[in-house]
């Protein structure tokens, strides 16, 4: 039986000096902070950058640590992440925050990756704040699109070509190529929000996000992604994690947990009706009255996604 060791609690001050993360956080992370110590010309330095050191500590102490000091430090850190998220939305309209969900394994060379980049770029240019789980695949595409907002499609394709040498995060050069794209196409005008977790720390956080709320507790992180996407969520092809998010989002909308329902847009007709038939299932459940208040759309068109989300925005001004 686990007993509470008050001596350890009293020694918390000393423990704070040992952990490789800032327990009391006054602001969200930046990619530059998480990847401090990484040299794009030496891929091995990813092992000693700040994010990697925190992840190694996380694994060493256990995903569910027995040491109460570690638990307290993580809880305080994640609490502050929540406060920092709320502060972020003092400067950004939460009603225009749109999430894009999809597979972490989506290759940079896939057609859908480019589609997500262009969709995110277009939405960012229209004043939306893009949100994702902050990892690779469709999540990276979301933030790359926001980063490339205001530039030509020709520039986007050049960036994608630069990234294509490392199609997934498992290939050498994944992070270096992203850093080189940022160096070639710098920007400070457009912001995007990533919410990753150290539970999946083997998946690197995308450096294209300008603001990063990284959590230790994945359950808190998952709920935060769905909660803050008040402007709606676009579902691109994914697997188990994306399916979980769909039905968790449906519950929030069904119960109007935050006072209103937000759009659930499924991008990829073939995928969402044949390969992973979540859309017809939801339609059937809505028809039977098992789900209410769902605002759904199924499309292959980027422009239709933008139109649906823009139409929803107009309901706030009525």
Would you state the pLDDT for residue 1?
Answer: 42
> Could you tell me the pTM of the whole model?
0.95
Q: Read off the pLDDT of each residue in 288-309 and give the average, rounded to a whole number.
A: 98
CB 147 within 8 A of CB 185: yes
Question: CA-to-CA distance for 62 and 64, rounded, in angstroms?
Answer: 5
Using alpha carbons, select from 94, 81, 89, 72 the residue that is nearest to residue 16. 72
Specify the length of the chain in residues.
318
**Range 243-249 average pLDDT:** 96
Sheet with 232-235, strands from edge to edge, namely 211-212, 192-194, 129-132, 97-101, 232-235, 263-267, 295-299
Complete DSSP assignment for 179-208:
HHHHHHS--SS--EEE--BGGGTTSPPPTT
Average pLDDT of the residues of the chain: 95
Can you tell me the distance from the alpha carbon of 10 to that of 14, in angstroms, rounded to the nearest whole number? 9
The verdict on residue 197 lying in a domain is yes
pLDDT at 136: 97
For the chain, how many structural domains are there in total? 1
166 within a domain of the structure (yes/no): yes
Half-sphere exposure of 312 (CA within 13 A, CB side): 26
Domain carrying residue 101: 94-316
Q: What is the mean pLDDT of residues 157-179?
A: 97
pLDDT digits (tens, 9 = 90+) for 70-87: 999 999 999 999 999 999
Q: How many CB atoms lie within 10 A of CB 229?
A: 27
**Nearest Cα to 160, choosing from 138, 146, 135, 181?**
181
CATH of the domain at 262: 3.40.50.450
Asked if pLDDT for residue 318 goes beyond 70, the answer is no
Residue 31 lies in a domain: no
């Amino acid at each position: 039986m686990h007993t509470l060791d008050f001596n350890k609690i009293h020694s918390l001050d000393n423990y704070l000096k040992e952990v490789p993360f800032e327990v009391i956080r006054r602001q969200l992370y930046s990619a530059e902070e998480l990847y401090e110590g990484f040299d794009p010309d030496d891929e091995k330095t990813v092992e000693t950058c700040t994010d990697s050191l925190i992840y190694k500590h996380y694994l060493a102490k256990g995903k569910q640590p027995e040491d109460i000091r570690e638990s307290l430090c993580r809880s305080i850190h994640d609490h502050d992440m929540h406060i920092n998220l709320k502060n972020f939305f003092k400067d950004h309209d939460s009603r225009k925050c749109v999430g894009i969900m999809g597979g972490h394994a989506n290759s940079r060379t896939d057609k859908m990756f480019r589609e997500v980049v262009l969709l995110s770029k277009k939405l960012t240019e229209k004043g939306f704040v893009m949100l994702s789980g902050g990892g690779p695949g469709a999540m990276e595409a979301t933030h790359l699109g926001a980063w490339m907002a205001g530039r030509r499609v020709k520039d986007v394709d050049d960036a994608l070509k630069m990234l294509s040498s490392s199609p997934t995060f498992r290939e050498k050069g994944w992070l270096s190529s992203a850093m080189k794209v940022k160096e070639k196409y710098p920007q400070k005008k457009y912001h995007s929000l990533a919410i990753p977790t150290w539970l999946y720390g083997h998946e690197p956080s995308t450096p294209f996000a300008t603001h990063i709320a990284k959590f230790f507790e994945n359950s808190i992180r998952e709920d935060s992604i769905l909660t803050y996407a008040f402007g709606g969520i676009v579902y691109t092809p994914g697997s188990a994690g994306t399916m979980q998010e769909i039905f968790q989002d449906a519950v929030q909308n069904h119960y109007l947990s935050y006072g209103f329902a937000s759009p659930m847009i499924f991008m990829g007709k073939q995928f969402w009706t044949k390969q992973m038939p979540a859309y017809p299932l939801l339609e059937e459940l809505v028809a039977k009255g098992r789900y209410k208040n769902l605002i759904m759309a199924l499309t292959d068109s980027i422009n239709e996604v933008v139109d649906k989300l823009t139409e929803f925005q107009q309901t706030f001004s009525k």
